[in-house]
Amino acid sequence: MCGINGIIDFRQENNLSQSIRQMNDAVKHRGPDNEGLFIENNIAFGHRRLSIIDLSGAASQPLFDNSGRYVLIYNGELYNFKTLKSELNDYPYKTETDSEVILAAYKKWGENCLNRFEGMFAFAIYDKKENSVFIARDRLGIKPLYFHKSEKIFVFSSEIKSLLASGFVRRKINIPGIYDYIRYQTVHAPETIIEDVYMLMPGHYLKIKNGKISQKKYWDLQFAENREPESYDKIKKNIEELVISAVEKRMISDVPLGAFLSGGIDSSIITGILSRLSSSKINTFSVNFENPEFSEGKYARIIAEKFKTNHTEILLKPEDFLDMLPEALKYLDHPSGDGPNSFVVSKATKNAGITVALSGLGGDEVFAGYDVFKQVFRFHQHKLLSKIPFFIRKTGGGVLSGIKQDIRSKKAAEFLKLKNFDFENIYPLSRLLFTEKEISRIFSSGEIPENKVRKIISEINVNSGFLLSAVSQAEIKTYLQNVLLRDTDQMSMASSLEVRVPFLDYKLIEYAHTIRDKYKYPHSPKKLLTDSLNILPSEVVNRPKMGFLLPWEHWLKHELFRFSDTRIKSIASRSFFNEENIISLWNAFLKGEKTISWARLWIFIVLEDYIQKQKLEQ
């Protein structure tokens, strides 16, 4: 895993050497093992390497093909590179890397090579003969790729901080992005929190030639409507084979490999499969807390004992987490409410001697593990509720939120106020932090930009009998890609740790997407997955879902009060916010009002901290 940087100077007016070095320095943490540079004419490539496969110097990048025509910089892992290498056996390989296989594949198949790749990646190839640059990102967007373009320059990188370090990007806040962030604790791609900085979308590539930029989608998740129906036994068998295959592909490594083990269903299944496939004991890691209320340690121990792993429990006190928080925020490449959690787990795992870790990330999105799957399904099943006159439902919602002053009741009241209980109306509410009415109070401007989640899901087809697959697609394209994957990448790479995600194998996702609701509905937690991989004890399968719980509400009122209070007051004073109403939210939280959760205030705190650290202009 690595960091890549590139500059294309359309008018050849700039000192590319200085800029590309500054960009490389900004992502040094992503690749501490080696640095490489390529500068020729109007092109500059930079690379920071974290060695995973072929640790020799010959594998350093930028990497040139055998003819010298093509130059590659690459961040990722190609899991089927050995298969492709045997198919491309007429190429004179000099290394044992997957990087060189990408060069050989592009040389033979051009842009169509992407359809043959299985893995997570973002890479760029410079064609000296055509004087063109080809930039691509993996199907699910596991690896990031940011860019800035103008008439004079095109700059790209694995991180936003590197783009800012180039000197070509103005440090200006993207105001429409702020609305998106306050709604969903993220800015949905292709936009970012920085004006004129974009993400290359998952499953897309760019080609830049003669100053012209073209973009194309090469993959998207679609329904397979004409597929023949299968029995449940056949579906379970197929799921089992696909999950095992996905894990096996991700075991290749020339450095120590382990697995995150929270004791939940997803990480436990990954651990079970790894232990069966490995010829030696596997290394597993769990982060636990002294307070059993916040610890999943006992479940992780059950799995570690069952599969006989070399298990390491990393015991953290809440004050340990607090001590690491400033460092986590320093590495935050894009504001997010969840980033620090990922940083702590990654740092602890890296400190235990592991460079590659497998994660259960994606299991909830693929196998209906979140409450939102049941929520959308149930509301959709009770569409007759929409026949009740709107004013009655709206009144009922108001009464409900008035009687029971908590977040759950407030969200239920918002659902009742919907004019229609269809997918396009229900889903955007599921992860909304603030209602549209609250948004209008938070911001100083009366004009509210379009809800990005509503726009994204408007392009998803909801086929009869496949509602859960539509929810899965919505989760992947919103929360997973724009929060979880971005946080996982930036926070794990801050510790130079590579995280692999078997549940996001595109073949597994494509197949799971074709399974009907009657087989996928989670009557028990992730029933389809646990039925297919029948390897977990019942106390793990049926355990309560905990997540990564920490006493944030207490911290914001005590240990983090000064840090939080100064940032809340600072962000409230910015021109795009309504200062009085944000301070009112903060005071209500401090007084213990149940409808104001710590998460709703933390996103403001993180945003202001990010703006200050990156020296952003309004």
Catalytic (active-site) positions: 2
AA identity, residue 229: P
Contact between 55 and 255 (Cβ < 8 Å):
yes
User: End-to-end alpha-carbon separation of the chain, Å?
Assistant: 34
Contact between 363 and 243 (Cβ < 8 Å):
no
Count other Cβ atoms within 10 Å, centred on residue 490: 26
Q: To which H or E segment does residue 345 belong?
A: helix 339-351
CA distances in angstroms from 304 to 138, 359, 388, 577, listed in the order given: 32, 15, 52, 49
Report the b/e string of 344-375 with b at 16+ CB within 10 A. Answer: bbbbbbbeeebbbbbbbbbbbbbbbbbebbeb
- In 339-432, at which residue ranges do the beta strands (DSSP E only) sit? 356-358
Q: To which H or E segment does residue 112 belong?
A: none
Structure tokens given for 418: 């919907």
Contact between 119 and 138 (Cβ < 8 Å):
yes
d(CA 77, CA 504): 13
H helix and E strand count, the chain: 27, 17
CA atoms within 13 A on the CB side of 41: 9
DSSP characters for 65-105?
Answer: -TTS-EEEEEEEEETTHHHHHHHTTTS---SS-HHHHHHHH
Residues 6+ apart with CB under 8 A from 240: 532, 533
Q: Which of 399, 457, 395 is nearest to 426 (CA)?
A: 457
Residues 6+ apart with CB under 8 A from 285: 258, 259, 260, 261, 311, 312, 314, 348, 349, 352, 354, 357
Q: Which residues pair with 73 in a beta bridge?
A: 124
Residues 6+ apart with CB under 8 A from 35: 24, 28, 46, 47, 48, 49
Report the b/e string of 12-21 with b at 16+ CB within 10 A. Answer: eebebeebbb
The order of strands in the sheet holding 204-209 is: 63-64, 70-78, 119-127, 132-137, 204-209, 212-217
DSSP H helices, 405-466, are: 407-416, 423-430, 436-442, 452-457
d(CA 530, CA 579): 49
Q: To which H or E segment does residue 580 belong?
A: helix 579-590
CA atoms within 13 A on the CB side of 584: 8
d(CA 507, CA 244): 12
